Structure 1
Amino acid sequence: MARAIGIDLGTAYSCVAVFQHGKVEIIPNEQGNRTTPSYVAFTNDGRLIGNAAKNQASINSNNTIFHAKRLIGCKFHDPTVQADMKHWPFKIVNDVDKLKILVEYRNETKLFTPEEISAMILTKMKEIAETYLGKKVTEAIITVPATFNDSQRQATKDAGVIAGFNVLRIINEPTAAAVAYGLDKKISAERNILVFDLGGGTFNVSVLKIEEGIFEVKSVAGNTHLGGEDFDNQMVAYFMQEFKCKHGKDLLQNKRAIQRLRTACESAKLNLSSSSQASIEIDSFHEDIDFYSTITRACFEEINDHLFRSPLESVEKALHDAKMEKSDIHDIVLIGGSTRIPKVQKLLQDFFNGKELNKSINPDEAIAYGAAVQAAILTGDKSENIKDLLLLDVAPLSLGIETAGGVMTALIKRNTTIQTKQTQTFTIFSYDQSADTVAELVIFDKENSTKQTETMTTSSKTQFSVDIKVFEGEHSLTRDNYLLGYFTLSGISLASHSVPQIEVTFDIDANSILNVSAIDKTSGKENKITITNDRGRLSKYDIEYMIADAEKYRKEDEIQHECILAKNSLESYCFNMKATISDKKLTDKMKVHDKNKMIDTIKDTIKWLDINQFAVKEEFQHKLKELEKLCSSIMRKL
């Protein structure tokens, strides 16, 4: 049976896992690392993903893309995008109201959506899993921050489809981590746990009740723009100012220098989790000036103090929404690499009045671990330790429609357990007679139905249409919330003796993805409509085009890889033969003519290699065949 995998698609690093033989296995990449940088780089030679992309970021900063997770499901003019753009060396553009990333690839200017970049990372994780399992992988669960909105979830699912997956489900990261913790601890008796998930780019907190294999999420809160990358940004700004004070030089236009500084700051941040001081050493940093400095843990904590404290507000909110006190929490589970920061741990422990924090599971791997378990369950794995496991997650944000006065009327409240289906009946508050459209809706009230009928039936028109606008968010007015989309319901009856009743249904599935329908009950006509795409998401055509494009890039990568192997084989053979003919015992048996012919041919081949680095695979193979033929014929004479 083909295995389904679990993927933690992270802002900074991604991780993939599989459940097989009754246990979870975290899958290492080709370097043996259990996490892979969420980086994609474009060069004139080809495309790089993961470690190879990150390793060359400082010399190719304009074309090395990272933090795609902070862009997915967003629009160019979103405030968070505009704020993040200041920190990135690569270029973000607004292309026909769609956010895209501009790169130079194979001497051409290319535009990629965040979904395409994320799909490239997912494809890399897919390849890592396929190499490990020795078979094709087509099904996956992908995790997202608990506070991702509908648009971000849909876009993540689209990325999975572009990568060639049947996305079984999109699940929340802290929920997946809770599964990992629950299985690791073999929890059976009822326990309330708080998952504190601070990663590279996002922060989530979830409160769950675990009992006899049922994982019930009680509340979620967080910030999709808070994590290790923000701490790095604070350090980068700090050292840029220090360099300016010391040398009178502004680094703002030197993207390569800033990228090198960012890499050094990330390393220093990691060191400060175990040391009281870390060094920054960058040779020829800017205009041939070397930059050497140090930062203490105390200084690091001071420049990030406001960021370190901000998660506690979300913790308080999550407890309030779950109707729990601090003392009701049995376990506080730390997830995400940034929870290794001592100050973050101290602030959280102090908040819980000194309660011990649980660090028993690997914070970098727990999310992929839980996702792999859920993937196994959804594909019918009946292993004893997971067969009775059930996840009950929640909607992270309220979902509703706009009613009279621009009011947000929620049909599904925040932290409602999903899957769920909620229905509410509305009627007409006002309408535009000249345009035959309903201007405003209100909740249907039977007691006032007579008065409403009199008001609405003064028109000679009997058929109207209504725009139903769907929003997501917690503000009382829709203008402050997030428009997911809208649709038009036509043929609403305004017959003289009835009040129009429009029944709106919100149906949210296990992926937290929403469908909305509406029925005109008065006329007896039923008209069910799904939300149209009004958020700049990808159309079916876009996705199909990107799948084809992704396959094209995959084939290009394959050709490039085969070419590199052919080149390496030729190079390796040259140097092996060179070493062979330097063995005096062997060459003494050779004729001088044969020896010189071998030496000259090897020299010529090495010279050809230097000049023809970008030759095609067949050329390298032809050269190798010719050289092998010559060398073999001479060696056979010995």
Structure 2
Amino acid sequence: MSGSLAVGFSFGLAYSSVAVYQNRRVEVIANEQGHRLTPTCVAFTDTELLVGDAAKSQVATNAENTIFDIKRMIGKKFSDAELQEDVKRWPFTVGGGKEDEPVVKVTFKEAEHEYNPVQLSGMVLTELKKTAEAYLGSTVTECVVAVPSYFTDVQRRNMVEAGKLASLKVLRVVNEAFAAAMAYDLERKDDAKKVLIFDVGGGTLDVSVLSVEDGRFEVLAMAGDLHLGGEDFDQRLVKFYAQEFQKKHKKDASKNARSMRRLKAACELAKRSLSMNNQATMEVDSLFEGIDYFAGITRARLEELCGDQFRIAVCAIDKALADAKLDKSAIDEVVLVGGSSRIPRLQKLVQDYFDGKEPLKSINLDEVIVYGAALQAAVLTGQREGTGEELLKDDMTLLTIGIETAGSLTTSVIHRHAPLPVKGSHIVTTSFDNQSTVVIHLLEGERAAVSDNRSLGKLELSELPAMPRGALRIDVQVQVDSQHLLTATATEPTSGRSAAFSLQLANSRFKKGELKNMVREADESFDADEVQRELVGMTNALMSLTSNILFVLEDEVFAARVSKEDRDLLLEQCSAVSSWLLNPELSKDDVEEKQRELEEAFREVLDRVYEADQDAFSSVAVSYGSETPTTGTPAKKGKTVKA
């Protein structure tokens, strides 16, 4: 169990939040302004850096140095066509940095500065961390960050880097859809189910269809719109009321950016009010050229102005279900997420789509995601019961993927919890002269011994060219894509011989509780497995030594100078060591002693050869210093003999 509490973050386009699990409940933490949502906004002035509410409050007077929409920039290339469209509408300046990375150019403390999206994200996480620390009265060092399901591996890694800038260890970057489902404890129900997450945030619409089974989630399909959310609804209101202002006062306020920002703030407040009331009012002092603006708005007007956008949002459900190859009747639970999903008309459209099924909305819709992120943080640090695997299914590998190597040892190729998609490679070779067939055994699991892990399949290369032991190099490539499809290939380049297979790493490969037991057994056996790995490594080194000695004895120059007595002695000792290595009860001390004895015997023979003929010794030095491979592992270097 961690010594301190880990927190959960929701890193949103418009707002971010932080929560913690303690005293057996989740607490969403309010910032120093008393708000549980912090604007994802950073501003730079002549005197200070502002983050959150302080940054947003001065955007009208410092627009060129106030940065928002950070989430749209992270992990993107500056040349990205979609990003270029966003750049056109932002009041701040974005340019291209090294490796085509977007950088924001600002004036800070009367000097020009550039910041990339990771740095800006780190500033937001730092502010949320301070909020949590002030509430908890202790330092926060670990967290879970929730991001959209569509985030790429690069974007997720960027969030980890942002966490580091905030002096935080990011335990996991999880899908927002998974966090939302976890908030309602859907992974703790025994029965398998299909869940639809309908998430309408500040700037994006995300619809995800999940399968929940045996405590784990899997994304079956995603749909949505990266530019449809609360801000887009606000803009419809802004456009309408700017036109109304012009009709009434014969003045075009839309030409003034400051006026439009103030009108937008008023429209946003009115929209929020209409989720609870049938009508609201907007008041903006001195909106344009000293004219105060006052207007009323009804819920019906909002629905009329944004009706087509609402219908587009619901159509995304159709797309997600079609991609998941499911009928709407197969959906067991519908979960509403995001502040904009509390708009009554949107809620009714979703409920009508599912023939009256009541969506889950008992948790504050702005806080569902951070609620689930805090629960997962608690699981990962032992504060709450769980396997720690709940949110892994679509994000990363569940177990280490490796291959069988000498000594029936499993050697890792792709580590456990590697973000998807992921690739790994390994070089294997032959274990004896003229070996014509090599079998490469792929496994998954955390244990040292092959017998303690799960077999995934085998690759067999046959009719390989006749070569000395270790001369062949077989390149093994393993990759797992974002849909958990494993593909393994093995290629021997000199002959062109190759083999391949693919395997879907589906939930069904685990019986109930099996994954949890495998991880638990690996944790409990960690020390013993390390001892076994070390012993196998020492054994392989001793086997390589005997092979080196036999190889040297076959060298023509050396053979002509070594005495028959010394040759027979070394052959006898190598044979004895080979037989001795078959003993299943070997210890590290025994192997180390046997290695020392054989090395000393070989050294004495080499010394006598050196005294008799330095040229012959030089020939041995070259041979003995060459690569000496061990079956199933990269070739290892032997000792270089020095006079």
TM over 0.5: yes
The residue aligned with 2:598 is: none
Correspondence for 2:493: 522
Structure 2 residues without counterparts, runs of 5 or longer: 397-417, 426-464, 466-472, 498-643
User: Within the alignment, does 1:506 sit opposite 2:508 as a pair?
Assistant: no
Q: 1:346 aligns with which of 334, 345, 348?
A: 348
Match of residue 228 from structure 1: 230
3-state DSSP class of the match of 2:185?
helix
Q: Which position in structure 1 is the counterpart of 2:307?
A: 305
2:219 matches 1:214: no
Larger Rg: 2
Look up the match of 2:28: 26
Take 2:122 and 2:242, find their aligned partners in 1: how far apart are those partners? Answer: 34
Match for 1:115 among 97, 115, 118?
Answer: 118
Structure 1 residues 113, 180: CA separation in 2 closer, same or farther (over 3 Å shift)? same
2:174 touches 2:391 (CA, 8 Å); kept in 1? no
Q: For 1:440-451, what aligned pairs fall within 5 Å after superposition? A: none
Summarize the Cα distance change of 1:76–1:359 in structure 2 as closer, same or farther, 3 Å threshold. Answer: same
Note the 1:141-160 alignment, pairs <5 A. Answer: 141-160=144-163
Deviation readout 1:38-89 (Å, 9 max, x if unpaired): 1212112211111222222223222222221122222334343333345433
* Cα distance in structure 1, aligned partners of 2:212 and 2:371: 17
Q: 1:452-484 CA deviation, whole Å, 9 max, x = no partner?
A: xxxxxxxxxxxxxxxxxxxxxxxxxxxxxxxxx
Q: Tell me the distance in 2 between the aligned counterparts of 1:514 and 1:369.
A: 31
Q: Residue 147 of structure 1 contacts residue 223 of structure 1 at CA under 8 Å; is this kept in 2?
A: no
TM-score, normalising length from structure 1? 0.61
- Do structure 1's residue 285 and structure 2's residue 287 form an aligned pair? yes
* DSSP 3-state at the match of 2:228: coil
Structure 1 pair 249/25, CA: closer, same or farther in 2 (3 Å)?
Answer: same
Could you tell me whether the CA contact under 8 Å between 2:376 and 2:388 is conserved in 1? Answer: no
CA-CA distance at 1:210 after TM superposition: 3.1
In the alignment, is the contact (CA less than 8 A) between 2:179 and 2:391 conserved in 1?
no
* Residue number in structure 2 paired with 1:260: 262
**Aligned match of 2:296:** 294
Aligned partner of 1:390 in structure 2 is 390
Q: Distance in 2 between matches of 1:202 and 1:524?
A: 53
The reply to whether residue 178 of structure 1 matches residue 181 of structure 2 is yes
Shift in Å at residue 172 of structure 1?
0.7
Calculate the TM-score normalised by the size of structure 2: 0.60
Aligned-pair CA distance for 1:318: 2.3
CA gap 1:351/1:306 in 2 versus in 1, 3 angstroms = same
1:316 CA displacement = 1.9
Distance 2:314 2:475 in 1: 42
Any idea what the Cα deviations from partners look like across 1:318-352, whole Å, max 9, x if unmatched?
A: 22333321111122111110111112112212221
CA distance in 2, matches of 1:155, 1:229: 25
How many angstroms apart in 2 are the aligned matches of 1:516 and 1:170?
A: 25
The equivalent residue for 2:509 is none
Matches of 1:389 and 1:95 in 2, distance apart?
Answer: 38
Aligned partners of 2:153 and 2:421 also within 8 Å? no
Helix, strand or coil for the counterpart of 2:347? Answer: helix
User: How much does 1:266 deviate?
Assistant: 0.8
The DSSP-based 3-state class of the residue aligned with 1:16 is strand
> Aligned pair count?
427
In structure 1, list runs of 5 or more residues that go unmatched: 397-416, 425-494, 527-638
* Closer/same/farther in 2, CA of residues 20 and 85 from structure 1, 3 Å limit: same
Asked whether the 8 Å contact 1:57–1:64 carries over to 2, the reply is: yes
Tell me, yes or no, if the aligned pair for 1:217 and 1:392 is still in contact at 8 Å.
no
Matched residues in 1 for 2:388 and 2:151: separation? Answer: 28
Q: Deviations over 1:488-524 (max 9, x none)?
A: xxxxxxx9xxxx9987543469xx9999999753248
Aligned CA RMSD, in angstroms, stands at: 3.4
Q: Report the CA distance shift for 1:105/1:370 in structure 2 as closer, same or farther (over 3 A).
A: same
Distance 1:261 1:515 in 2: 53
Determine the C-alpha separation between the residues in 2 that align with 1:30 and 1:201.
Answer: 25
Percent identity between the aligned chains?
A: 45
Indicate how the Cα distance of structure 1 residues 234 and 167 shifts in structure 2: closer, same or farther if over 3 A, else same: same
C-alpha spacing 1:388/1:146, structure 2 compared with 1 (3 Å): closer
Q: What is the CA distance between 1:525 and its match in structure 2?
A: 11
Identify the residue that residue 47 of structure 1 maps to in structure 2: 49
The answer as to whether partners of 1:418 and 1:508 remain within 8 angstroms in 2 is no
8 A contact 2:314–2:350 mirrored in 1: yes
One-letter amino acid matched to 1:99: P
Aligned to 1:334: 336
Q: Aligned match of 1:191 in 190, 193, 209?
A: 193
CA–CA distance in structure 2, aligned partners of residues 230 and 308 of structure 1:
11
* Residue pair 1:393, 1:418 contacting (<8 A) in 2 also: no
The 10-residue stretch of structure 1 (512-521 or 279-288) with the greater mean CA deviation from structure 2: 512-521
Which residue, out of 83, 101, 107, partners 1:104? 107
Q: Look up the match of 1:57.
A: 59
SS of the residue aligned with 2:377? helix
**What is residue 84 of structure 2 aligned with on the other side?**
82
Residue identity matched to 2:134? T
Q: Distance in 2 between matches of 1:79 and 1:245?
A: 37
SS in 1 for 2:391: strand
1:145 to partner: Cα distance: 0.8
1:602-617 pair list within 5 angstroms: none
Tell whether the 8 Å contact from 1:61 to 1:259 is kept in structure 2 after alignment.
no
